[in-house]
Amino acid sequence: MKVSSDNYPKSLIRPVQYRDLDWLEALTSDSAQSQQNSVSVSFQEQLQQVRRWFGLLKFLSWFPNLFQDHFRVYVAELPKSSPEVNLKGFIQISPFNTGRSTWRVERVIIADGEGEPELLTNPKGIGSQLLRHCLEKIWEARTWVLEVNINEKNTLALYRQNGFQPLAQLTYWFLEPELLQQLAQHNSDLSNLLPVSNADAHLLYQLDCVSMPPLLRQVFDRNPQDFRTRFLTGFFSKWQEWFNQREVAEGYVFEPQRKAAIGYFKLILSKDGSQAHQAQLTVHPAYTWLYPKLLAQMAQIVQKFPNPSLELVSSDYQHEREEYLEKLGAKPIEHSLLMSRSVWHKLKEVKPEGLHLSEMFQGLQAVPRTPIPSRMAWLKTPLNPSEKNTKPNNQKEQNSSLEPSENPDHE
């Protein structure tokens, strides 16, 4: 069923239900085969976990807790004119920081998006309806961020039509096993490399702030709580690592003179070698000499696991990292665009309904009038002391006129 883009019907957008999981898995599997990216693969792994704990996650989404937004998905359903094409798309969102001031659009996938591009590009299509529903429903979100591949033209047009602007361009690099083996032979010589704990959250927060531009720092709106791991979150992460055959290794470089962290890395290692290892790297802009040492340290860790290949991401505002990876011989495998949209300005644009207090009580407004002379001028204190001697006779006459007469005939 192909619907004209001019009179596209308004769809019903509702939270995901258990009966929708089969449709979500089939839709994302087709997207993973067509695009050949790891994002859809990770979503399919998440679906397998959600199947086992869907009832518990649904119950936890009713009140504030750590797992309230673990699987926040909204589904677009058309009117039931045809029973086989009711579901047309879905959107997945999640909070980006602990303050919940910034939210992230994980993915927007539309059924038959390639065959009917107007479902994405049409301002009244399914994609725009899903985005606008989230922008209106999540009242605590001041800023929205997302990441989109630069080759997905229809999805990129959808985000631009709904007010998203580019922040930075991200490049994903692939380091082959031969290159990592060469790096592992180098001496890292990092005596101040320390393990990460919750006590180091403030140091990692300062490093994160100084490693990005002010605009990006304002959009992310992170605080030291974002770099702490709570007990339940850590326990659940350990269970996920055991279930998915993964291991996480992370550390940071401490500068004792400045009492600050100058470098940080995090490795997500695959124990069975089914996927390439993923790395996250943050370096202080004044300590670019840490790049070869931290990469050598990560290469030594990767050699202990099967399939010693590594994926690393860098942004265009970190020129030193991209130049170093190019000289090193890493291969760029994907280019994506980081975009954001602010909704905080809506509070200033929307005029509150009803009359203002000044409109209801117009009689209480100050009206410019000519002053009326008062007969109680003798109570006023002159501003200039010399004014007392300017008209002494008039002042005396005025005071005598105001005093009551002692003559009984005057009555």
Per-residue pLDDT reduced to its tens digit, 286-331: 999 999 999 999 999 999 998 889 999 999 998 899 999 999 999 9
Name the residue among 216, 214, 208, 205 with its Cα closest to residue 168: 216
Distances (CA, A) of 3 to 77, 119, 120: 14, 9, 13
Q: Give the model's pLDDT for residue 97.
A: 93
Phi, psi of 311 (to 5 degrees): -115, 130
Per-residue pLDDT reduced to its tens digit, 236-263: 888 888 888 889 999 999 999 999 999 9
Q: Which residues, listed in sequence order, are joined to residue 166 by a DSSP beta bridge?
A: 339
Q: Give the model's pLDDT for residue 8.
A: 65
Asked if pLDDT for residue 364 goes beyond 90, the answer is: no
In the chain, the N- to C-terminal Cα span, in Å, equals 106
Pairing of strands 143-149, 102-110: parallel
Mean pLDDT lowest for which of 24-33, 160-169, 347-356?
A: 347-356
Q: Give the model's pLDDT for residue 205.
A: 96
Mean pLDDT lowest for which of 99-108, 277-286, 288-297, 391-400?
A: 391-400
**Sign, CA torsion 183/187/190/196:** positive
Cα(376)–Cα(111) distance, integer angstroms: 84
Tokens of 101: 């001031």
% pLDDT > 90, the chain:
47
Name the residue among 260, 299, 295 with its Cα closest to residue 281: 295
Asked if pLDDT for residue 354 goes beyond 80, the answer is: no
Give the mean model confidence (pLDDT) for residues 322-341. Answer: 94
Edge-to-edge, what's the strand order for the sheet holding 87-95?
Answer: 12-15, 72-77, 87-95, 102-110, 143-149, 331-342, 165-175, 310-315, 277-283, 260-270, 246-255, 193-195
% pLDDT > 70, the chain:
75
pTM for the structure as a whole? 0.77
SS (H, E, C) the chain: CCCCCCCCCCCEEEECCHHHHHHHHHHHHHHHHHHCCHHHHHHHHHHHHHHHCHHHHHHHCCCCCCCCCCCEEEEEECCCCCCCCCEEEEEEEEECCCCCCEEEEEEEEECCCCCCCHHHHCCCCHHHHHHHHHHHHCCCCCEEEEEEECCCHHHHHHHHHCCCEEEEEEEEEEECHHHHHHHHCCCCCCCCEEECCHHHHHHHHHHHHHCCCHHHHHHHCCCHHHHCCCHHHHHHHHHHHHHCCEEEEEEEEEECCCCEEEEEEEEEEECCCCCCEEEEEEECCCCCCHHHHHHHHHHHHHCCCCCCCEEEEEECCCHHHHHHHHHHCCEEEEEEEEEEEECCCHHHHCCCCCCCHHHHCHHHCCCCCCCCCCCCHHHCCCCCHHHHHCCHHHHHHHHHHHCCCCCHHHC
Asked if pLDDT for residue 411 goes beyond 70, the answer is: no
Q: Give the model's pLDDT for residue 226.
A: 94
Give the domains, in start order, of the chain with CATH numbers: 1-163 (3.40.630.30), 168-338 (3.40.630.30)
Q: Give the model's pLDDT for residue 7.
A: 57
> Which range among 75-89, 193-207, 234-248, 265-279 has the greatest average pLDDT?
193-207
239-240-242-243 Cα dihedral, nearest 10 degrees: 110
